[in-house]
Amino acid sequence: MRVLVVEDEKKTASFVRKALQAEGFAVDVCHDGEAALAAAAATPFDVLVLDIMLPGRDGLSVLRQLRERKSTTPVLLLSARGEVNERVEGLNSGADDYLPKPFELAELVARVRALTRRSTENKLTTLRVADLTLDTLTHKAQRGGATIELTVREYRLLEFLMRSAGRPCGRMMILEKVWDYDFDPGTNLVDVYIRRVREKIDAGFEPKLLYTVRGSGYILKEAQ
């Protein structure tokens, strides 16, 4: 998996590269829009991490140019402007995801990983992680043969975690996908819900499936 990081702020580019490399990605970095277009034309990348504010040609213009060239490479936009409307503008210009600065590294990594899996995302109606199953048609969850009662929100959270099984999910990402919030509410809503879901799917069962990722998120996986 090869990622191109386009970010003019050198320190930010550096720790983003380190974090992605630590997750097993091959990472190329460039610092302006023209270089990004040249690099993207020369090498097929799996994901582009693109800052909007770049010297010269800005990120949105790079994105439009890429899409004009019929490139379908998934693009994650980064922005320090943090305008509510910018997100919509970015997605309309062909971006696949948008992350406002300052972001959590785990959040960024989780989103990049989600984008690499995007094309292969399954449309299964029965999700399975170890002996935990979730039927997305009937909204029924079962573990070890026992039925687990879930509220609507708990179901959506579990579905999201199971669809992302094996990948860490950042808090903002969960708020976005499960709650459809485009803002950081500054509450511990996600943590409280995770605790409840964990009680329902992990209490009394082995192995444990739902883990906290240090720093900023959660992961549902079979224990190694």
Partner 1 sequence: MTIRTRLSLWYASIMFIALMVMGVLLYYQLVIEPREEAHHHHHHERDEEPVDPDVFEDVTSIVLSCGIPAALLAVAGGWWLMKKSLAPIASLTRATEKITAQNLGERLARTHNGDELDRLTEVFNSMLARLDDSFNRIREFTLHASHELKTPLTVLRGETETALRENSLSAAEHDRAVSQLDELNRLTRIVDGLTLLAKADAGQVSLNLETIRLDELVRDNFADLQILAEPHGVEVMLAACEEVSVRGDRHRLRQLLLNLADNAVKYNQPQGSVTMSLRRSGNAADFFITNTGAGIPPEILPRVFDRFYRGDAAHGNAVDGCGLGLSIAQWIVSAHGGKIQIASEPLKQTIVTVQLPTA
Position among 64, 81, 118, 128 found at the interface with partner 1 (CB under 8 A) = 81
- Compute the distance between CA of residue 142 and CA of residue 124 in angstroms, rounded to an integer: 16
Residue whose C-alpha is closest to residue 59's, from 82, 34, 24, 85 = 34
> CB-wise, 33 or 217, nearer to partner 1?
217
Residue 101 as a binder of partner 1 (CB under 8 A): the answer is yes
Task: Please give the order of strands across the beta sheet that includes 97-100.
Answer: 26-30, 2-6, 47-51, 75-79, 97-100
6, 174, 216, 218: which one binds partner 1 (CB under 8 A): 216
- Return d(Cα 221, Cα 218) in angstroms, integer: 10
Which residue in 1, 9, 34, 58 binds partner 1 (CB under 8 A)?
9
Query: For the window 145-164, what string marks contact with partner 1 as x by the rule CB under 8 A?
Result: ------xxx-----------
Q: CA-CA-CA-CA torsion for 131, 132, 136, 138, nearest 10 degrees? A: 90
Q: Which one of residues 91, 130, 165, 189 is an interface residue with partner 1 (CB under 8 A)?
A: 189
Choosing from 24, 70, 85, 137, the residue that interacts with partner 1 (CB under 8 A) is 85
Could you give the CA distance from residue 181 to residue 122 in angstroms, rounded to a whole number? 24
- Side-chain-side CA neighbours of 65 within 13 Å: the count stands at 15
SS3 8: coil
Stretch that binds partner 1, among 66-74, 129-137, 162-170, 191-199 (CB under 8 A): 191-199
Binding footprint of partner 1 on the chain (CB under 8 A): 9, 11-12, 15-16, 18-19, 22, 80-85, 100-106, 151-153, 181-189, 192-193, 196, 214-216
